[in-house]
Structure 1
Amino acid sequence: MPKLKTKSGAKKRFKITATGLLKAGVAGKRHRLIGHNGKYIRQNRGTKVMSESDAKTIRSYLPYGL
């Protein structure tokens, strides 16, 4: 049976933590930030751990991890 291919878009956008959770960047912080308050901008800095229902889909795109 041939090797499974990893989705190249997924390997650029997601990381797997040591405990097996998936981390991803937060949406909505590229432009037009003047319409948001400081709390929104601060809380959406960096990355967040994904919900388990979304993570299950992403794991199927990464058959061998990262």
Structure 2
Amino acid sequence: MAKKVKMKTHRGAAKRLKRTGTGKIRRYKAYKSHKTGKKSPKRIRNLRKPALVSKGDQKRIDSLIP
């Protein structure tokens, strides 16, 4: 009889992504950490806001964060 193995969470994904109450996956935006001198304050401010993962990517990421 085969042993049932628990699925492990991908730790790198778990640190970067969070699941919302409705089950969607929230991500944070890239291009904010450095070289911000040439970016407008509005652009840097908008990069602070979290975004939702696209529908196609959500299918892949669901297996990383059970």
Fold conserved between structures, TM > 0.5: yes
TM-score, normalised on structure 2? 0.85
Query: What CA RMSD, in Å, does the superposition of the two structures yield over aligned residues?
Result: 1.0
- Give the corresponding residue for 2:16: 13
Deviations 1:13-66 (A, max 9, x none): 111111111101100000110111122111111311111111111111012xxx
The gaps in structure 1 that reach 5 residues or longer are none
Q: Greater share of strand residues, 1 or 2?
A: 1
- Give the corresponding residue for 2:44: 41
Report how many residues are paired.
63
Give 1 or 2 for the bigger CA radius of gyration. 2
The 5 Å alignment of 1:50-65 reads 50-63=53-66
Q: SS of 1:34's equivalent?
A: coil
TM-score, normalised on structure 1? 0.85
Query: 4+ residue stretches of structure 1 with deviation over 3 A?
Result: none
